[in-house]
Structure 1
């Protein structure tokens, strides 16, 4: 059984946001955004959050790797290397791990292409300004990833979007 199943998702997410978001605002020189389960959760989808996925530029990923060097989890190897590539690093934080993906690319029908988020919205999370893709953008990105967990999150976001209309 996955240990993250027993984690209080809301409390763990609050904890990691409080620890990581101020550094992201202070250290990143280029636009950045959360993606994945944390972004979906902050948008209102009832999903479990196992980590905080941060999409950054390569330059900012390298800056964060230097700043968070002591927290780096070098033993962790991400899955999906055949489909995803980036300047990647995983860091140990209270609450949840933080995964930084600088210059994330996805291998699809046309080869390697950058993962782009065209519309970012800023949400308030416990007084912190947290950039996440707009719901339609989250759905598009998750569907492009094509993994079962991403498709499930996209479906939940679609349902949520329909309920709000």
Structure 2
């Protein structure tokens, strides 16, 4: 199974829970890049950008699958209502009200432009490539800037 199909299968597996979210959520990171058509070899996890309330719901609902031994790197750069969960080989990171420290201040990540994919009757919002480029540049880590460059190469 290719990586894109694996991501879609993972989202389909989670679709019942995702359909219960009260506010819009977005798929960001490598998984979003792959679903937007940028070829990557792998995606370590599925990154879900949610509201604070929806992150709290998922953290409670997915408690049995919580990865307790994980702590967020770059805590000086990112803050959110965060949780990391695992089902078999599927890792999901939930970021409620994600904020990024940029230009000497905390800025809430707001996705401005996106498209929707329907996976197992759930609408998944994915930032368009221009927006993903902006987000990766905002994050500013070497791995993010490499992904921003990959977008430029393929568009």
TM-score of the two chains, using structure 2 as the length reference: 0.90
List, as ranges, runs of 4+ consecutive aligned residues in structure 1 with deviation greater than 4 Å: 124-128
**Long gaps (5+) in structure 1:** 1-6
Contact 2:12 2:119 (C-alpha < 8 Å) held by counterparts: no
Partners of 2:30 and 2:43 within 8 A in 1: yes
Q: Partner residue of 2:50?
A: 56
Task: Label 1:28 to 1:127 Cα distance change in 2 as closer, same or farther (>3 A).
Answer: closer
Quote the RMSD (CA, aligned, Å).
1.9
How far apart are residue 20 of structure 1 and its match? 1.8
CA distance, structure 2, for counterparts of residue 128 and residue 63 of structure 1: 17
1:67-94 residue CA offsets vs partner (Å, 9 max, x unmatched): 1111111111121101000000001124
**Does 86-95 or 50-59 show the bigger shift?**
86-95
Equivalent in the alignment of 1:3: none
Q: Which residue of 2 aligns with 1:12?
A: 6
1:151 shift after superposition: 1.0
Q: Any conservation in 2 of the 1:71–1:93 contact (CA below 8 Å)? A: yes
Match of 2:76 among 82, 93, 108: 82
Tell me which residue corresponds to 1:99: 93
Task: Select the structure that is richer in strand.
Answer: 2
Higher mean C-alpha deviation, range 55-64 or range 130-139:
130-139
The aligned length equals 154
> Normalization by structure 1: what TM-score?
0.85
What corresponds to 1:27 in structure 2?
20
| 3-state secondary structure, aligned to 1:92 | strand
Compared CA separation, residues 95 and 125, structure 1 to 2 (3 A): farther
Distance 1:116 1:84 in 2: 14
Residues 96-105 or 86-95, more deviating: 86-95
| Distance in 2, Cα, partners of 1:117 & 1:98 | 19
CA contact (8 A) 1:123 1:129 kept: yes
Q: Which ranges in structure 2 are unaligned for 5 or more consecutive residues?
A: none
